């Protein structure tokens, strides 16, 4: 007899991250012999620095093959605490650090901890698609915080505070941001932190995974640096972006004391611990030389300059200069095409992979995300292909008007 499996209702509410679908389509086209430039996926095109790789090899050679404590090995959590002191001037106990397999896990745990039917969770829109996906999965109602192009894709603290209701349990913030590259100015965080004092029931998940990829000498503002919020801020950070370690699956959360045991129980129920060798690599990353990280950020800054200038020359495109991360989010309404149509046609007809703004929420319509974690030459070639394609569309349009 044919099986008839009954999935839990919540499975129908789980979304996805379209960048992975674009990646699969780009790989399929490449396998057919097409030349593809991938500006779709959000990962550094650099290799993990060699001293970090060596530390993992040594850990394996030294016999670190077993489970570690669920929260991570102590020297790694101490290194995280020292790194947070160095970067943000904050004191964090190694006991509040939960090492997890990638930045996403802290997100999943925080949302599942607070989300249920009847609860509301605020999240940035356009924003990392997994926020909205997991909020819906949890049963909570997603309440978008709209980000404004004319504010450098920041939010207004007043607007965020106005969305808080007695049902609000969690606010998700992300600066520097995916997909816009936007950086929230300190003044907005100050206003938000002051306003949140009136809402002690609301927790904050601060996704700071791009906190070290900032330009023009800007300094990162961590939500951990607001003493009044310390007992309800969950910090999400990790190694993926800063150290070009997306495939290692290594991240961490800093949890308020009251929430930590719940997060740790989720970890024990879910993955037990992070693979041991990756944890040793994580120590080397945080305590070793930083010149490779600096070099990567300098390379991203140069690519940002190139891509923003080139995008602003394309007819129908308008691109603000982002303050951080390695994404640009040009407004493409002038092309007359929807974001999804443009994404599909650019991939199929020019071989340039991008991601439609709508993959990051409804407020992403009219925008396209380019990841500029690619070589200068690849960026220039992609811009040339798109420029030629747009010129051909213009010619076709003119021809059809005449005929």
d(CA 191, CA 188): 5
Task: Tell me how far, at minimum, the Cβ of 349 lies from ligand PLP, in Å.
Answer: 27
Pair of tokens at residue 217: 């000498």
User: By three-state DSSP, how is residue 268 classified?
Assistant: helix
Determine if 128 is a binding residue for ligand PLP (CB under 6 A): yes
User: Contacting ligand PLP (CB under 6 A), which of 44, 124, 126, 238?
Assistant: 238
Among 49, 181, 251, 253, binds ligand PLP (CB under 6 A): 251
CB burial readout 1-26, b (16+ within 10 A) else e: eeeeeeeeeeeeeeeebbbeebbebb
Residue 72 binds ligand PLP, judged by CB under 6 A:
no
Parallel, antiparallel or unpaired: strands 233-238 and 352-353: unpaired
371 binds ligand PLP (CB under 6 A): no
d(CA 257, CA 344): 46
Using the 8-state DSSP alphabet, how is residue 364 labeled?
G
3-state secondary structure of 145: strand
- Only one of the segments 62-70, 238-246, 342-350, 366-374 lies at the binding site for ligand PLP (rule: CB under 6 A); that segment is 238-246
Site string for ligand PLP, 202-231 (x = CB under 6 A): -----x-x----------------------
Segment near ligand PLP (CB under 6 A); pick from 87-95, 97-105, 141-149, 263-271: 97-105
Q: How many residues bind ligand PLP (CB under 6 A)?
A: 13
Nearer residue to ligand PLP within complex by CB, 188 or 207: 207
User: How far is 289 from 297, CA to CA, in rounded Å?
Assistant: 15
CB 398 → ligand PLP: shortest distance, Å? 40
User: Interface with ligand PLP includes 240 (CB under 6 A)?
Assistant: yes
Task: For 264, list phi and psi in degrees, rounded to 5.
Answer: -65, -35
Is residue 303 at the binding interface for ligand PLP, with CB under 6 A as the rule?
Answer: no
Using the minimum distance from each CB to ligand PLP, give the nearer residue, 102 or 351.
102
**Strand 141-146 and strand 168-174: pairing?**
unpaired
Q: Which residues bind ligand PLP (CB under 6 A)?
A: 42, 102-104, 128, 174, 178, 207, 209, 238, 240, 246, 251
């Amino acid at each position: 007899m044919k099986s008839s499996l009954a999935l839990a209702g919540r499975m129908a509410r789980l979304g996805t991250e379209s960048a992975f679908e674009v990646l699969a389509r780009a790989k399929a086209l490449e396998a057919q012999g097409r030349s593809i430039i991938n500006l779709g996926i959000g990962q550094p095109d650099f290799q993990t620095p060699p001293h970090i790789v060596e530390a993992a090899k040594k850990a394996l050679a030294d016999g670190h093959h077993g489970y570690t404590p669920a929260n991570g090995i102590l020297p790694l959590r101490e290194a995280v605490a020292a790194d947070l002191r160095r970067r943000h001037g904050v004191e964090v106990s190694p006991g509040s650090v939960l090492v997890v397999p990638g930045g996403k896990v802290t997100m999943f745990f925080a949302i599942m901890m607070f989300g249920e039917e009847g609860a509301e969770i605020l999240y940035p829109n356009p924003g990392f698609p997994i926020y909205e996906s997991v909020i819906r999965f949890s049963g909570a109602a997603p309440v978008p915080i709209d980000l404004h192009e004319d504010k450098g894709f920041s939010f207004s603290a007043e607007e965020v505070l106005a969305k808080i209701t007695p049902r609000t349990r969690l606010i998700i913030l992300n600066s520097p941001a995916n997909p816009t590259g936007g950086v929230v100015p300190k003044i907005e965080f100050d206003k938000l932190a002051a306003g949140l004092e009136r809402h002690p029931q609301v927790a904050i998940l601060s996704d700071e995974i791009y906190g070290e990829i900032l330009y023009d000498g800007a300094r990162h503002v961590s939500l951990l640096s607001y003493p009044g919020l310390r007992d309800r801020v969950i910090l999400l950070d990790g190694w993926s972006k800063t150290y070009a370690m997306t495939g290692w699956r290594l991240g961490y959360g800093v949890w308020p004391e009251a929430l930590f045991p719940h997060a740790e129980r989720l970890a024990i129920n879910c993955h037990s611990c992070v693979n041991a060798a990756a944890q040793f690599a994580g120590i080397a990353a945080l305590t070793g030389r930083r010149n490779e990280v600096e070099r990567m950020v300098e390379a991203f800054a140069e690519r940002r300059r190139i891509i923003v200038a080139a995008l602003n020359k394309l007819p129908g495109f308008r691109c603000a200069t982002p303050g951080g991360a390695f994404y640009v989010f040009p407004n493409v309404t002038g092309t007359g095409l929807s974001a999804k149509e443009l994404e599909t046609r650019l991939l199929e007809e020019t071989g340039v992979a991008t991601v439609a703004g709508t993959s990051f929420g409804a407020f992403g319509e009219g925008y396209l995300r380019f990841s500029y974690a690619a070589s200068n030459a690849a960026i220039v070639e992609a811009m040339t292909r798109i420029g030629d394609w747009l010129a051909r569309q213009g010619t076709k349009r003119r021809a059809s008007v005449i005929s």
